[in-house]
Amino acid sequence: MITISKDGKIITLHTASTTYQMAVGPYDYLLHVYYGPRVESDMSYIISYVDRSHSPNPYEADYNKTFSLDTLPQEYPCYGNGDFRNHAVRIQNHDQSYGICLKYKSAKVLDGKYSLPGMPAVYANEKAQTLEVILEDAVSNLEVTLLYGVMEECDVITRAVKIRNRSSVSVRLEKAASCSFDMLYGSYDLICFHGRHGMERIPERDSVTKGKRVLESRRGTSSHHMNPFFILAQEETTETHGECYGFSLLYSGNFKAEVEQDQVGLIRCMMGLHDECFSWKLQPGEEFTTPEAAMSYSREGLEKLSHNYHRLIRHHVCRGPYKTTRRPVLINNWEATYFDFTGEKILNIAKQAAELGVEMLVLDDGWFGKRNGEKAGLGDWYVNEEKLGGTLAELSEGIHTMGMKFGLWIEPEMVNEDSDLYRAHPDWAFTIPRRKPNRGRYQLVLDFSRKEVVDYIFEQISFVGERSGVDYIKMDMNRNLTDIYSVGAQQQNQGVILHKYVLGVYDFLERMLARFPDILIEGCSGGGGRFDAGMLYYTPQIWCSDNTDAIDRTRIQHGTSFGYPISAVGSHVSAVPNHQTGRITNIQTRAVVAMAGSFGYELDLNLITDDEKELVKAQIKDYIRYWDMIQNGSYYRLTDPQVNREIAAWAFVAEDRSEALLNVVTLDAHCNAPIQYVRLRGLDPQAVYSMEGTEKKYSGAALMYAGIQVPELGGQYQAWQVRFYVER
Ligand code: DGJ
């Protein structure tokens, strides 16, 4: 619910359990007042006006030294008006000067949640409201609309900003954050999710101290290296107690999140498009819209914050038929064959998988052009019938005849120099004039900021997709962007390319969804290099990491779960020794870990033992029994595998709390080791839960407050998965 006070000065946004408030302050500056637990009153008294030396005073404050934008909490701070702290928006005016001064003009409340054409945005299928606050700079005639979406039930407030040039001359937009948020005081930690290829989204928690910390990607995609999601948590906040704020950017390109503590302890944080190499010329009448950020607050620890994001992403970001329905258990041939396959080999893998209960075969990289290795073929989206020994339609038909669905890998944004496409259109790949481009995985990046490039690739790929009856697409992206120069843009306009590239990717995906409304698209970028809430708007699941090692995955999936639901995580059982780490784990442990995601296999099931085949059959049956709890239930991090080196434990609890699935993996083994205990959470304390496969019964309260012993599992890398249920 959004309210505007009678005098129009106090604007309040309420979600189910939080309140966000802003005030039109002296001289019409829009000040930030409060974000936290729900409060029904005007809290603008909390803002103090203090004379601080070296903090300038706006001219209209006359000789009032206590009014300075350098000391006040603001809703959307701008560069060049006397606030030396971090700014959300920076403009170069037509006269080359920097600086604007935004003042409050008006606000209105609209029913429903705003959308952002051409970009991902949270959508509402329930009660939601939009607040539009208009700020203006009278001198440059720039109008800035702050958009707020209130998602009551998820305790989420979304933010985006529109900047319109209402003058008769052009200006340059050099920075435009999606959200900015000032906290007057407090001791907070910043939790970021950093990583690298094969080890993505590892949480790191540090105190916020004086100065500025920047979390960013300058790689053209949201990146393996730093995720566009972060948390500010009070120092004492734990998984289940304490206050914390989350910030998630629905964007898949360069981003910048900044957390700054000023001279007197105010914390300002913001998030949005990266301003490096960004310069957007706004001609008279033109408007620029930022990507969307989703903010959430919890006073019940990190778990509640994660649950808010899980609900938001599952119900209000992901789209399509697979949003809440079960995804097919798949087998992917990548780690089974890499590029070395024939149609016959694929059918052989599929046949064995089908016999064990697998529901879909995904044909990975190598089915097109001259793609028999990394150095050739990308861009040539025609089927290599010689390699397959027939058409793709025939292969797909063969798979369908086995009762399985058929999925296909693509990497639309890339081209190899050794391809017909590159030979015909070398200028379609990003290259700086007179320079040689950097290669990444022997490939170059196609200029998706150009519509004709997207058009061509879309037509080629959809032609193949339509003719081969695909049920699923894995859309990969295997290098970062360099050599950014588009021959499609006017020479003075290169500062738009990185953002336009991302818009081109979104356009491609939106067209794919329109052309293939019934298929499931899985995102991928060398594993989890583009794992963000923006991609999840188009691809409800993303291959979480190229690292399929079950033990490393406990850490990767744990970190991922802070900002993203389990339904978003692609996770497979692969062969041992693991191809990335060389580690050997048993097939049961691998399956338990892979079930904390959209479940599948990535090995040749012909090569496992008969006993393992029986286990695979049982695993698939189990997953199909548990999927609703896993995909649509609540996820609980019961241990932190960064801290607890003995076990990793997590649980899923059904929405109605009638069942729970406890999962434990032993990470280490010792002689005469202490017993490990886990306490479940989210159960009905009054209910009696039976432990499946035993005669044992426990009250929900006992399982949550006393906990349960992990049985002796026989050493390192063993798994225990057990279902508790309320008998009806
Ligand atoms: C990177 C992906 O993450 C892998 O799963 C696989 O699809 C390869 N690319 C194929 O080139």
What SS3 state is found at 136? strand
CA of 178 to the centre of ligand 1 (A): 32
Contact 67, 81 (CB under 8 A): no
Q: Which residues line ligand 1 (CB under 6 A)?
A: 334, 364-365, 409, 476, 478, 524, 526-527, 543, 546
Task: Look at the block and give the residue holding tokens 């206050």.
Answer: 243
Backbone angles phi, psi at 301, to 5 degrees: 85, -175
**DSSP alpha helices (H): ranges in 280-391?**
301-316, 334-337, 343-356, 385-388
pLDDT tens, residue by residue, 520-556: 999 999 999 999 999 999 999 999 999 999 999 999 9
Question: Using only C-alpha atoms, what is the Rg of the chain?
Answer: 27
Tokens found for residue 563: 């900002």
Q: How far is CA 120 from CA 216, 289, 291, 539, in A?
A: 19, 12, 8, 11
Residues in the chain: 728
* Nearest Cα residue to atom 6 of ligand 1: 334
What is the reported pLDDT for 127?
78
**What is the number of the ligand 1 atom nearest to the C-alpha of 334?**
6
Largest CA distance in the chain: 86
Q: How far is CA 99 from CA 83, 139, 212, 440, in A?
A: 11, 10, 21, 39
Query: In terms of Cα–Cα distance, which of 29, 161, 167, 145 is closest to 95?
Result: 167
- Alpha-carbon distance of 493 to 90, in angstroms, equals 17
- Alpha-carbon distance of 350 to 338, in angstroms, equals 15
Q: How many helices (H) and strands (E) does the chain have?
A: 12, 38
The residue to mutate among 546, 556, 569, having the most atoms of ligand 1 within 8 angstroms of its beta carbon, is 546
- Alpha-carbon distance of 479 to 438, in angstroms, equals 11
CA of 469 to the centre of ligand 1 (A): 22
532 is catalytic: yes
pLDDT tens, residue by residue, 124-133: 966 799 999 9
CA of 639 to the centre of ligand 1 (A): 30
What is the reported pLDDT for 608?
98
Query: In terms of Cα–Cα distance, which of 68, 70, 50, 48 is closest to 59?
Result: 68
Query: In terms of Cα–Cα distance, which of 540, 475, 532, 504 is closest to 215?
Result: 532
CA of 340 to the centre of ligand 1 (A): 14
pLDDT tens, residue by residue, 414-442: 999 999 999 999 999 999 999 999 999 99
Tokens found for residue 519: 């298929």
Backbone angles phi, psi at 165, to 5 degrees: -90, 105
What is the reported pLDDT for 308?
98
**What is the number of the ligand 1 atom nearest to the C-alpha of 364?**
7
Contact 667, 641 (CB under 8 A): yes
pLDDT tens, residue by residue, 22-72: 999 999 999 999 999 999 999 999 999 999 999 999 999 999 999 999 999
* Nearest Cα residue to atom 11 of ligand 1: 365
- Alpha-carbon distance of 278 to 264, in angstroms, equals 31
The residue to mutate among 413, 478, 548, having the most atoms of ligand 1 within 8 angstroms of its beta carbon, is 478
Which position among 300, 420, 612, 640 bears the catalytic label? 612
668 is catalytic: no
- Alpha-carbon distance of 286 to 423, in angstroms, equals 37
Residues 6+ apart with CB under 8 A from 426: none
CA of 474 to the centre of ligand 1 (A): 9
* Nearest Cα residue to atom 9 of ligand 1: 526
Contact 198, 289 (CB under 8 A): no
The residue to mutate among 200, 330, 333, 334, having the most atoms of ligand 1 within 8 angstroms of its beta carbon, is 334
Percent of the chain scored above 90 by pLDDT?
Answer: 98
Which position among 182, 532, 552, 602 bears the catalytic label? 532
**Mean pLDDT for all residues in the chain:** 97
Q: Could you tell me which residues are beta bridge partners of residue 698? A: 689
**What is the number of the ligand 1 atom nearest to the C-alpha of 338?**
10
Residues of the chain with pLDDT under 70: 125-126, 490-492
Q: DSSP strand E in 320-380: where?
A: 330-332, 360-363
pTM reported for the whole predicted model: 0.98
CA of 321 to the centre of ligand 1 (A): 25
Q: How far is CA 149 from CA 20, 111, 250, 309, 580, in A?
A: 12, 10, 14, 15, 42
CA of 526 to the centre of ligand 1 (A): 6
- Alpha-carbon distance of 378 to 385, in angstroms, equals 16
